[in-house]
Amino acid sequence: MTVHTALLRLSTRGDGEIVDLSAGLASALRTAGVRDGVVTIFVTGSTAAITTMEYEPGGVADLGELIERLVPRARPEGGDYAHNRLNHDDNAHAHARASLIGPSESIPLVDGRLVLGTWQQVVLIDFDDRPRERVVHVQIVA
């Protein structure tokens, strides 16, 4: 078993920005030169997530609206999140959103390509309430 590791470094705007990781993943795969295995994509930090989706303007807008309905910035009944009260912070929604989606995806690699559907891309979502420097770890196990 061989393990190859790559890092993708991204500057994000936060506030639910969705970033397509396709180009960075393709570069990591080319560099590793691996044909078959499993690729794990993991973002560090508790206010960002990794998932797959159809990365197009309508899908991006729909996902953003859905997440806002599920975990609003502030509670609709007027209260605030305990994290914000206890930590004198304002990004509790970002932590909850990231926890729901999760920090990683594992995807089979066959013949040098990620096994994704025709319209499926791997994306990072930055839920924090400010711009951030994000690091995505890519591990290829062959």
CATH code for the domain of 61 = 2.60.120.460
Structurally, how many domains does the chain consist of?
A: 1
With left for phi above 0 and alpha for psi between -120 and 50, is residue 15 left, alpha or beta?
left
Tens digits of pLDDT across the chain (142 residues): 999 999 999 999 999 999 999 999 999 999 999 999 999 999 999 999 999 999 999 999 999 999 999 999 876 565 689 998 899 889 999 999 999 999 999 999 999 999 999 999 999 999 999 999 999 999 999 9
DSSP class of residue 91 equals -
Q: What is the pLDDT of residue 6?
A: 98
Cα 46 from chain centroid? 11
Q: What is the pLDDT of residue 80?
A: 82
Residues in the chain: 142
Residues of the domain holding 97: 3-141
Q: Which two tokens stand for residue 32?
A: 């590793």
CA distance to 29, 57, 71, per residue, from 134 (Å):
20, 22, 22
Q: What is the pLDDT of residue 30?
A: 96
